Structure 1
Amino acid sequence: MIKKHLLESALTVILFLSSFTYILAQSPAKPFVYGDPLPDAPELAARGVYAVGVQTLDLINKNQLDILNYGKGIDSLYNRPLKVEVWYPAEAGSDKLISYDEVMGQNGSPNRPLVPFTFLGRATRDAKPAYSKGSFPLVIVSHGYTGSRYLMTYLTENLASKGYVVVAIDHTEATFKDAAGFQSTLLNRSLDDLFVLNEMARLGEQKDSFLNNLVDADNTALIGYSMGGYGAVNVAGAGYSPQAAQLFGSMAGGSTALKKRSMGNTEYEASIDPRIKVIVAFAPWGMQRGVWNAEGLAGIKIPSLFVAGSKDDISGYETGTKAIYEGAVNSERYLLTYIDARHNTAPNPPPAEALESGRPIDEYLRYADSVWDMRRINNINQHFVTAFLGFYLKDMKDYKAYLDVNANPEAKEWPGFKPRTTIGLEMDHKMAN
């Protein structure tokens, strides 16, 4: 009997040690960080050759229209603060893990109180820039309503590692922390983008700035998601329609201000900036609301990459993003479609806190898609944005093949994709008129 118990105990120990060894063998050597490649990630999703540095800047856009307080008997102008995060190529060295501070929820909503959380990235705070490699193209990243400058770190870090200076904006009155009236976003989104472009160009020439001789603002891409896409389309040359001003309702000051960003307005026409060479618009909002008409969309004359889910119930697909793509007749343009995905084709995956029991489902659905794995969407976005920017901003001619996935009808796979991994994806391409 004693021998039997000893044998059973020995077997139990062996089984435990075997299970423990198996767990250790399956545990990754390093934690999965947003943007890390999955086994089925396409080729260009991999990080580039540069280590990544990151710094935070506080900018002030002076004497801007205070649309949320317009007509309340107070000064209608204010100094508009904009916090931005800048990722950039750094001197050679391995990227350390960095912790970003973020919040879930929405300011002012009792049903969605702000909940602080942190998540990891791969960058080094205040790292020495790679000055010896010359200047790098600028990429401006604009989040949705609501969001933050940290909403797409999988992409911002990835692009910096490939030789871009990437600046992501906290759009005041449109972040999780300070969400306010939607009119501010309607009016300020494109203005914020242009102001940040000017500031990055100024800092690139300022001797005491870390950006001095590091950023090439004359070679800029603008990436926007949702309301960020709304702003990007306008900045690219698609002036708003007469109907767009009606979004302000009876707010005469706002309607007048928005008209300054409309087709036919001389101030708007003069603001179209030749330094912006391309745009990438993820699920751009506004087409279903009549923000653009045919004349406006025809004003886009730079290359464009549009990305959308075919079941987008926020910005729309057939009458939303795809309609913008079809209407941008003077732009060489691409449309990447995630079949059956909804609106969230751009954000990081949901944070662990969004998975906790009892948490409002909106916090999960702010980031997640109900059909697609967000980590896979992230990898595919990295691949195509890398190809698009590489070809148009860096003249990397070989990258065109990664975009023209339908060029060879007999090919079984898209260039850069592993076998059997393009299911659920569509890519359309149209030349400019």
Structure 2
Amino acid sequence: MFNKPKFLSLLIFIILLGNVTPNYAQTASNQFIYGDLLPDAPELAARGNYAVGVQTLDLIHENQLDILNYGKGGDSLYNRPLKVEIWYPSETKEGSNEIISYEEVMGQNGAPSRPIIPFTFLGRATRDAKPAYSDSPFPLVIVSHGYTGSRYLMTYLTENLASKGYVVVAIDHTEATFRDAGGFQSTLLNRSLDDLFVLNEMARLGQDQSSFLNGLLDANNTALIGYSMGGYGAVNVAGGGYSPQAAQLFEGMTGGSKALLKRTVGNPEFEASIDPRIKVIVAFAPWGMQRGVWNAEGLAGIKIPSFFIAGSKDDISGYEDGTKAIYEGAVNAERFLLTFKEARHNTAPNPAPIESLNPDLNIDEYLRYADSVWDSRRMNNINQHFVSAFLGYYLKNKEEYKAYFHLDPDSVEKEWPGFKPRTTVGLELEHQSPRN
């Protein structure tokens, strides 16, 4: 039977889609691409001087615990695949307009109401471009998505940082992406292990004469950026050992596995794993504090500069008892907290894809990206600004960048450096020095 309301909704969606997805040449001049600047974008949101190249690599982390099949018999180890996307400073190809199409999906593996739906979106990079080498290797930035997510979740930031002279590698965390989401215990165990493995692989490839990364990156000067479960992993990698309570919960969830004990506070193996090559972390809405993942002793183990970013109404990771509690508990670190007032959890992702506006889709496809109060494009620009300042100061020793995030105590009543007049409304930036 003809359904007139559904037909009209579909017709409107097709018209909208046709109006905002022109060909590449039109798109370059007419369409807002993720990461482009809004009129009120702060100063350091602008792209840098480098063209951007991008390549995909498939890595294998051998002999890892197969936690999703723990206790079911058979081989308890597997070779864990990790696909990564690498953005880097590149030489501009003749005739290149730096417009790229990324292949992504909506939906969630295993959710009947959210089938996997492929779509594409545009960025500003060139596939397999020739790297632009400098007198010294570029700092390394590792990016870790949430559960679920993908290596393409934050391209507005990964491309932006590469244009400013960083090699940026974003991980598809196996069993935690839209395409292959598995049991949550895999994310709890593997997130920090994946981060450290990728760091080691980037260090190896940076010395491999057969790799395009040879001589391009400095793994001894690394930042780790994580969102949600990526933030959970980043806090742990930075020295925030998990609590005994977290290890007990994991043991109950997995039918007796004690694997998370190796990442808990006070464990000698964990203490030995804290890697001095990681100089700073940026944690967007890190998950876990509400669930007792950290205690005071664990958070005191963070001793590197840390930048936390969250919405004050975060209903996934929590705010007062979530991200802000982590910020306040990391007493031995130089740390900062940027708050988007009234925002919920989605402070880090790209804007919602146009395809998610389809009224026939599950609303979660839209809510995976969007915020009900904030324009995601504005949040993206603000993130580009502050992350650029933070990494520029700590990884590139650009002293002038300190002023952009070391604000006066009464900065709420003043204009912020790099911001246009009247454009800091809704933002709060806090800073605390290390206790020791």
Structure-2-length-normalised TM-score: 0.91
Q: What displacement does 1:30 show?
A: 3.3
C-alpha distance after superposition, 1:342-387 (max 9, x if no partner): 0000000000110012111100000000000000000000000000
297-306 vs 357-366, greater mean Cα deviation? 357-366
Q: How does 1:228-267 map to 2 (within 5 A)?
A: 228-251=230-253, 255-267=257-269
Instruction: Provide the secondary structure at the position in 2 that maps to 1:291.
Output: coil
Aligned residue in 2 for 1:404: 406
Q: Which runs of 5+ in 1 are unaligned?
A: 1-26
Tell me whether 1:77 sits opposite 2:77 in the alignment.
Answer: yes
C-alpha distance after superposition, 1:266-318 (max 9, x if no partner): 11000000000000000000000000000000000000000000000000000
Aligned residue in 2 for 1:52: 52
Q: How does 1:17-56 map to 2 (within 5 A)?
A: 29-56=29-56
How far apart are the structure 1 equivalents of 2:216 and 2:171? Answer: 19
Q: What displacement does 1:249 show?
A: 4.7
Aligned residue in 1 for 2:63: 63
- Contact 2:53-2:87 within 8 A present in 1 as well: yes
> Which of 323, 328, 346 matches 1:321?
323
How far apart are the structure 2 equivalents of 1:409 and 1:190? Answer: 35
Q: How does 1:75-224 map to 2 (within 5 A)?
A: 75-92=75-92, 95-224=97-226
How far apart are the structure 2 equivalents of 1:228 and 1:410? Answer: 30
Aligned residue in 1 for 2:295: 293
Q: What displacement does 1:134 show?
A: 3.1
> Which of 419, 422, 429 matches 1:420?
422
Instruction: Provide the secondary structure at the position in 1 that maps to 2:383.
Output: helix
The AA in structure 2 aligned to 1:229 is G
The AA in structure 1 aligned to 2:35 is G
- Contact 2:92-2:129 within 8 A present in 1 as well: no
Structure 1 residues 28 and 60, CA gap change in structure 2 (3 angstroms): closer
Instruction: Provide the secondary structure at the position in 2 that maps to 1:29.
Output: helix
How many residues of Structure 1 are paired with residues of Structure 2 in the alignment?
Answer: 407
How far apart are the structure 1 equivalents of 2:82 and 2:237? Answer: 18
Q: What displacement does 1:48 show?
A: 0.2
> Which of 261, 270, 273 matches 1:271?
273
The AA in structure 1 aligned to 2:327 is Y
> Which of 271, 278, 286 matches 1:284?
286
How far apart are the structure 1 equivalents of 2:182 and 2:411? Answer: 49
> Which of 376, 379, 382 matches 1:377?
379
Aligned residue in 2 for 1:3: none
RMSD: 1.5
Q: Which runs of 5+ in 2 are unaligned?
A: 1-26
How far apart are the structure 1 equivalents of 2:368 and 2:253? Answer: 30
The AA in structure 2 aligned to 1:347 is P
How far apart are the structure 2 equivalents of 1:95 and 1:191? Answer: 37
Instruction: Provide the secondary structure at the position in 1 that maps to 2:282.
Output: strand
- Contact 2:185-2:253 within 8 A present in 1 as well: no
Instruction: Please identify the structure whose Cα radius of gyration is greater.
Output: 1
Aligned residue in 1 for 2:354: 352
Instruction: Provide the secondary structure at the position in 1 that maps to 2:241.
Output: coil
- Contact 1:67-1:253 within 8 A present in 2 as well: no
- Contact 2:250-2:258 within 8 A present in 1 as well: no
C-alpha distance after superposition, 1:126-168 (max 9, x if no partner): 0000124431000000000000000000000000000000000
Structure 1 residues 192 and 314, CA gap change in structure 2 (3 angstroms): same
152-161 vs 247-256, greater mean Cα deviation? 247-256
Q: What displacement does 1:412 show?
A: 2.9
- Contact 2:45-2:385 within 8 A present in 1 as well: yes
How far apart are the structure 2 equivalents of 1:236 and 1:347? Answer: 22
Structure 1 residues 144 and 409, CA gap change in structure 2 (3 angstroms): closer
The AA in structure 2 aligned to 1:130 is A
Structure-1-length-normalised TM-score: 0.92
How far apart are the structure 2 equivalents of 1:408 and 1:250? Answer: 47
How far apart are the structure 2 equivalents of 1:272 and 1:405? Answer: 30
C-alpha distance after superposition, 1:375-431 (max 9, x if no partner): 000000000000000000000000000002335659731000001000000000000
The AA in structure 2 aligned to 1:124 is T
